């Protein structure tokens, strides 16, 4: 055991510095604070990095997902297939549209939607599916497509997956649309924020209009055009999901650091895999062949049968040592709202329920030192 002084290690911390500060300052000085040139530059750079034709910045991944379903025309009577183990927003957006989420259990190793179970969830009402690239590992998109009828729209929930790859292709262009998050727990952040990506020009145009109240032309085009004093027409019901230019400025700087952030996380994730391999009660995350993990989180599983204590007790002991941990995420199917809405029983989605109880995210971010990782490994060995 290494003799390291007690320390405080956060589960996640944004990595921002002087460049972000200067970028914000530039926006403030120009006076253009709402969606404008900085957002456009961020969108263009994000589209290039993720090899997609269109990227539309939003206020969050949740609003991007809502926009994606709305752009696809999902509405009352439709069903949307979602995994049972994910952040609640993945299911909520279906309800926002008046549609019904249909849950599918997840794979115990990858934590992603179990594609072998998708075909049973399909009905004549299935209109869309939202596979989640949980914690930065892409869902098996080929397996999903093979299980779905042609007409079902696939929208990637890539909240955690900026920079992740699937069979050599970046997340973001693996379905009809994809949605990313820039919440501070993600690898790159704009405070809050999201991005919708697509290769489909019609979907991009529709999402663009819906993002701005349903206006027929954007604010920037109107302000820079020959008649800024004329209001545009509004033919459809839209939303205000526009990102601010302050966030766009932050996003562009953060994006330049994405590859470095992921490379560093990959080094330390593999270090964890090695350093913790001898703890028999801790199941490690997997990296299937052909997948590029973006390591938004490093999520292990406390194996109940052999663990020295229940997961929550282990979290408490780690917290007492200054190490912040979290459950991976929740089983949406165990949340009161969805149990009431759909008449679900506890434990109906067995893997998701077990992962909710047993998953353990360890700190992994770009402001940790080698000593921090060693301290965490020592602490786990000491339990």
Ligand X SMILES: Cc1ncc(COP(=O)(O)O)c(C=O)c1O
Active centre residues (catalytic): 186
* Residue 201 beta carbon to ligand X: minimum distance, rounded to whole angstroms: 25
* Residue 181 beta carbon to ligand X: minimum distance, rounded to whole angstroms: 3
Choice between 86 and 283, CB closer to ligand X: 86
* Residue 62 beta carbon to ligand X: minimum distance, rounded to whole angstroms: 3
Query: How far is Cα 28 from Cα 350, in angstroms, rounded to an integer?
Result: 50
Other C-beta atoms closer than 10 Å to the C-beta of 48 total 11
* Residue 200 beta carbon to ligand X: minimum distance, rounded to whole angstroms: 21
104-130 in b/e form (b: 16+ CB < 10 A) is: bbbbbebbbbbbebbeebbeeebbbbb
Q: Which of 22, 90, 61, 95 is nearest to 243 (CA)?
A: 61
Choice between 86 and 110, CB closer to ligand X: 86
Contact indicator for 332, 338 with CB cutoff of 8 Å:
yes
Choice between 127 and 330, CB closer to ligand X: 330
Q: Which chain residues interact with ligand X by CB under 6 A?
A: 60-62, 86-87, 89-90, 132, 157, 159-160, 181, 183, 194
Choice between 160 and 204, CB closer to ligand X: 160
Kind plus residue range of the DSSP H or E element containing 196: strand 194-198
* Residue 296 beta carbon to ligand X: minimum distance, rounded to whole angstroms: 8
Choice between 89 and 344, CB closer to ligand X: 89
- Number of separate helices (H) and strands (E) present in the chain: 13, 13
Phi first, then psi: give them for residue 255, nearest 5 degrees: -60, -35
Query: How far is Cα 383 from Cα 381, in angstroms, rounded to an integer?
Result: 6
């Amino acid at each position: 055991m290494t003799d390291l002084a007690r320390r405080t290690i956060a589960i996640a911390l944004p990595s921002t510095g002087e460049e972000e500060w200067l970028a914000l300052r530039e926006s403030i000085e120009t006076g253009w604070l709402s969606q404008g040139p900085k957002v456009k530059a961020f969108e263009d750079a994000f589209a290039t990095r993720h090899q997609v034709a269109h990227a539309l910045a939003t206020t969050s991944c949740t609003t991007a997902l809502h926009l994606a379903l709305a752009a696809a025309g999902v509405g009352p009577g439709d069903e949307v297939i979602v995994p049972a183990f994910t952040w609640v927003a993945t299911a909520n957006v279906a309800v926002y549209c008046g549609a019904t989420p249909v849950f599918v259990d997840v794979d115990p190793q990858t934590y992603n939607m179990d594609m072998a179970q998708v075909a049973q969830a399909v009905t004549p009402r299935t209109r869309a599916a939202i596979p989640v690239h949980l914690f930065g590992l892409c869902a098996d998109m080929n397996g999903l497509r093979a299980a779905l009828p042609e007409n079902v729209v696939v929208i990637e929930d890539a909240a955690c997956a900026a920079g992740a790859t699937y069979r050599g292709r970046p997340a973001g262009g693996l379905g009809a649309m994809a949605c990313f998050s820039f919440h501070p727990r993600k690898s790159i952040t704009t405070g809050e924020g999201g991005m919708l990506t697509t290769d489909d020009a019609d979907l991009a145009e529709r999402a663009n209009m819906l993002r701005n109240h349903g206006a027929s032309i954007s604010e920037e085009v109107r302000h820079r055009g020959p008649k800024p004093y004329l209001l545009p027409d509004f033919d459809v019901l839209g939303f205000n999901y526009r990102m601010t230019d302050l966030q766009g400025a932050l996003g562009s700087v953060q994006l330049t650091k994405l590859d470095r952030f992921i490379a560093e996380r990959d080094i330390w994730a593999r270090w964890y895999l090695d350093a913790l391999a001898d703890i028999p009660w801790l199941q490690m995350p997997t990296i299937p062949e052909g997948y590029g993990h973006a390591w938004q989180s490093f999520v292990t599983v406390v194996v109940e049968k052999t663990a020295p204590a229940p997961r929550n007790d282990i979290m408490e002991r780690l917290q007492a040592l200054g190490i912040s941990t979290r459950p991976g995420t929740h089983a949406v199917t165990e949340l009161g709202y969805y149990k009431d809405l759909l008449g679900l029983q506890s434990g109906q989605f067995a893997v998701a329920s077990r992962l909710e109880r047993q998953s353990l995210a360890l700190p992994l971010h770009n402001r940790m030192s080698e000593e921090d990782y060693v301290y965490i490994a020592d602490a786990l060995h000491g339990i």
